Amino acid sequence: MKTRRAVHTCGLALALVALAACMNAPPADRVLVNGHIWTGWEEHPEVQAIALRGGRIVAVGDDADIRALAGPSTRIDDLGGKHVVPGFIDSHTHFIEGGRYLQGIDLRDARSEREMTSRLGRHASRLPPGRWIQNGNWDHERWNPVRLPSKHSIDRFTPDHPVSVSRLDGHMVLVNSLALSLAGIRRDTPDPPGGRIDRDASGEPTGILRDTAIDLLAAVIPALTPDEMDEALVAALSHAASLGVTSIHDNSSFADLETFRRARAQGALTLRVYARTPLNEWKRHLDEIRRHGRGDEWLHLGGLKGFMDGSLGSHTAYFFEPYNDEPQTVGLLREDLFPVDRMSSQIRNANAAGLQVTVHAIGDRANSMLLDMFEEAESAAGSQPHRLRIEHAQHLRASDIRRFASQGVIASMQPAHIVDDGSWAEKRIGPERCRTTYAFRSLLDSGVRLAFGSDWPVASLDPVWGVYSAVTRRTIDGRNPAGWIAEEKISAEEALTAYTRDAAFAEFEEHRKGILRPGYLADLVVLSRNILAISPEEIPQVRVELTLVGGSTVFSSPSWNSARQDTVAAPR
């Protein structure tokens, strides 16, 4: 770590360059001084102060030099020694769905099936008859005994409300008898390709639907109105700002895209959106670009999102070997949407058209097959870098970790999943296959670029929690205080880089965001403590004090608001 003197000298040299460039420029709109600022800029990683103008960074450097860029109307914020980092970029969200979760029922921390059902009953009692109950994020792995719920456990609490509540991974839902009846799902309804209807010993549906079987409900669940989607977006934006999230890579439907566009037209976006639409609609994506362009620095129509398989928790992630606890299955390929030959063709065609392809793969076989498809697509496209991404990249063979590096594939990963999955993953696939699960250290050491995100609302949107998860790898059950698969831990600085600079690279935006450097967008976050200097165990105590996007405040905490803010410019 640099000494304070070294940091001062570095900052002075930077400020002198900035001053020379700004001699004839207007004063800064805002300066932040007296801080510990981690820029993410390798040449000058730590400075004391930063100046902003016109939504961009003017200069970084020492306090005195940055104050010299202030004028009579410049706002000067005294950071009081607080820690500043670039705005967090979440590389994998379902953002509007997350807003809906904020508005609905939350079952994530229900400690038993009984607690879950009683919460559903109380929630139903506040709704008019016939209203669907959705979302939830229940997790039966937290219960004792660990067993899947059924329609019978919720029917008596919800006789007048159709229910479809998701397991936290989003690849399994619990429905009640009313929902099954409305959807026409009976004992003779066949399993759709890439999905499963769980059945009891007599062949009756239990109420558990997995992966594409969930789509059987689509025709009977009312679509959200534009007003409802706008309301969900407002809730999600407020939540994101409070956590320092200034950009997202969203897995968007075209309805989501229109919602983002409405907010952009009204100047209501408080974070930047890299919108990704379904891979199997890549031609429509191209048409949107032709008609509307790719967008701007607030809303950018970016890549495409596809699926290879399901999830580990739902036994639908696709593996080379069977599951330990369900030896009759190796998981499911999502062949309903993407038969292997058609998916390979879609990846190749979309890649050749210049569209970034990002694909969900969790099981080791799904990841290996996808790497094959990516290699074929890149060979056909020539030398242009397309920054292909595997979303989750959760369970990998050691040989495929090396292939990520040699093929230049970005691993878009969500460290917060470790906290939950690490409690029960070995039950699913055994300790040996788990050794290369969430293999952050191995991937980085192999030269692979990591882009971190949350998968919100599957996991918490909080990047600080994500950093903690990557650094400690502690699980929610408390059984891994030294970290689950501890050899795959990374440092806090490496985790921050994956949430900032390398996440910007993953959306082709490394030239204007992800680091705090003159000329870059003024997206930054003030933290209550120095996340790089405290012990890993203390990281969850870190809170966001201030979030700036384009130099404007989109969130300030009560403690920040109560602190004295010096708004008088320094003497010239």
Does 80 reside within a domain?
yes
In this prediction, residue 105 carries a pLDDT of 86
Does 461 reside within a domain?
yes
In this predicted model, what pLDDT tens digit does every residue of 199-249 receive, in sequence order?
A: 999 999 999 999 899 999 988 998 889 999 999 999 999 999 999 999 999
Does 39 reside within a domain?
yes
Average pLDDT of the chain, as a whole number = 91
In this prediction, residue 381 carries a pLDDT of 76
Does 394 reside within a domain?
yes
In this predicted model, what pLDDT tens digit does every residue of 62-98 receive, in sequence order?
A: 999 999 999 999 999 999 999 999 999 999 999 999 9
Higher model confidence: residue 141 or residue 402?
402
Asked if 130 and 165 sit in the same domain, the reply is: yes
In this prediction, residue 386 carries a pLDDT of 86
Q: For residue 510, which phi and psi values (nearest 5 degrees)?
A: -70, -10
User: Is the CA virtual torsion 211, 108, 413, 554 positive or negative?
Assistant: positive
pLDDT of 4 over the 50 cut? no
Rounded mean pLDDT of 515-531? 98
Asked if 467 and 391 sit in the same domain, the reply is: yes
In this prediction, residue 365 carries a pLDDT of 97
Rounded mean pLDDT of 438-454? 98
Percent of the chain with pLDDT over 70: 93
In this prediction, residue 13 carries a pLDDT of 46
Rounded mean pLDDT of 150-173? 91
In this prediction, residue 24 carries a pLDDT of 64
In this prediction, residue 340 carries a pLDDT of 83
In this prediction, residue 432 carries a pLDDT of 96
Rounded mean pLDDT of 512-535? 97
pLDDT of 3 over the 90 cut? no
CB 440 within 8 A of CB 487: no
pTM here?
0.87
pLDDT of 569 over the 50 cut? no
In this prediction, residue 511 carries a pLDDT of 97
**CA end-to-end span of the chain:** 33
Rounded mean pLDDT of 482-497? 98
**Of the candidates 363, 366, 347, 367, the residue with the CA atom closest to the CA atom of residue 355:** 347
In this prediction, residue 103 carries a pLDDT of 82
Q: Which of these three, 178, 196, 217, is where a domain ends?
A: 217
Asked if 445 and 312 sit in the same domain, the reply is: yes
Asked if 363 and 418 sit in the same domain, the reply is: yes
Structural domain harbouring 436: 308-333+355-491+506-513
Percent of the chain with pLDDT over 90: 81
Asked if 110 and 176 sit in the same domain, the reply is: yes
Asked if 453 and 374 sit in the same domain, the reply is: yes
Higher model confidence: residue 106 or residue 232?
232
Tell me the H-state helices in 202-339: 226-242, 254-265, 282-292
In this prediction, residue 5 carries a pLDDT of 34
Asked if 453 and 312 sit in the same domain, the reply is: yes
Tell me the H-state helices in 226-339: 226-242, 254-265, 282-292
Report the C-alpha gap between 229 and 474 in whole angstroms: 35
Rounded mean pLDDT of 505-519? 97
Residues 431-447 as b/e (b if ≥16 CB within 10 A, e otherwise) read eebbebbbbbbbbbebe
CATH of the domain at 56: 2.30.40.10
**Of the candidates 513, 518, 510, 505, the residue with the CA atom closest to the CA atom of residue 549:** 513
Total domains in the chain come to 3
